[in-house]
Amino acid sequence: MKSLTEEILYKVINKRLNQSHKGTYGRVLIIGGTSQFGGAVIMNTIAAINAGAGLVTVATDPSNFTAIHSHKPEAMVINFNDDLTAYINTSDVILIGSGLGNRVDLVQAVFSAISEKKITIIDGSALTLAAEKHLSWPKGQLILTPHQMEWQRVSGVPIAQQPFEAFNLLARNKFTTKPIIVLKQFHSQIYTDDGIYELPIGGPYQATGGMGDTLAGIIAGFTAQFKTATLSDKVLAAVYIHSAIADELAKTQYVTLPTQISHALPTFMKKYAD
């Protein structure tokens, strides 16, 4: 297992071209957030936009519209009860699952509508529902972002065995198209076609609700906008920067809140783009 280092940020983050526009930096569709769990999708959205995604559309419960507009007027909002096919077709990256509760009908419909050309990040409730209801995974490139209990549900690998990469590799190989797996834990593991990586940074000051939602949003923003890096490298960079910012904030704070990490992204990213 390789140790993930700061070099990944220099490799992925680049200076923006003068001749560019919002479409140049990718279209992200975020699907999640029931009326009870709207905060999750709000944190997805803040992270994706602050990470640099050009256009972000949020399909969510209408009760969340005002809150999303208050936090991030840069985002567009649509009702996740409507037909999302057209939005899926025009998006580069789809992030589904954060705060989605028991909406298996929505997960199944979205999974069925995703084509082979799309990148799909599957988080939170969507992972649990896919495992419990034995749903067929979407076509195209998948990025799974489970915490340890979610990975146990999806893969069948007990939490006690997850520190041993052989068990996780075996589970990954059972997918028709091998997904990139971000297994969230202390010293998270990232499984890619280019190798297995361990995150050596981060700490208990990140143990706050919404930390995973923020990470999923950063992954969406990075995968949508950076065109020259491989998908694996973009995911690795997103994982690294999430904890690197937390480490920086923890120098003067007892806890680092997910939204603080998102708000620090543009400034933190700048030093790797010059």
194 marked ligand binding residue: no
188 marked ligand binding residue: yes
- Report angle CA 228, 231, 237 to the nearest 5 degrees: 85
Phi, psi at 192, each rounded to 5°? -135, 170
| Beta strands 195-198 and 27-31, pairing class | unpaired
161 marked ligand binding residue: no
40 marked ligand binding residue: yes
26 marked ligand binding residue: no
Residue 121 β-bridge partners: 95, 143
Element (H, E) at 258: helix 258-270
Cβ proximity of 154 and 133 under 8 Å: no
184 marked ligand binding residue: yes
Phi, psi at 6, each rounded to 5°? -60, -20
Phi, psi at 125, each rounded to 5°? -60, -35
**105 vs 126: CA distance, rounded Å:** 11
Cβ proximity of 247 and 239 under 8 Å: no
> HSE-up of 204 (CA within 13 Å, CB side)?
1
3-class secondary structure, 249: helix
| Relative orientation angle of helices 148-155 and 124-132, to the nearest 10 degrees | 30
Residue type, 89: N
80 marked ligand binding residue: no
147 marked ligand binding residue: yes
Residues placed in the known binding site for AMP: 184-188, 212
Extract the annotated binding site for (6S)-NADPHX. 40, 99, 147, 213
Q: Binding-site residues, please?
A: 40, 99, 147, 184-188, 212-213
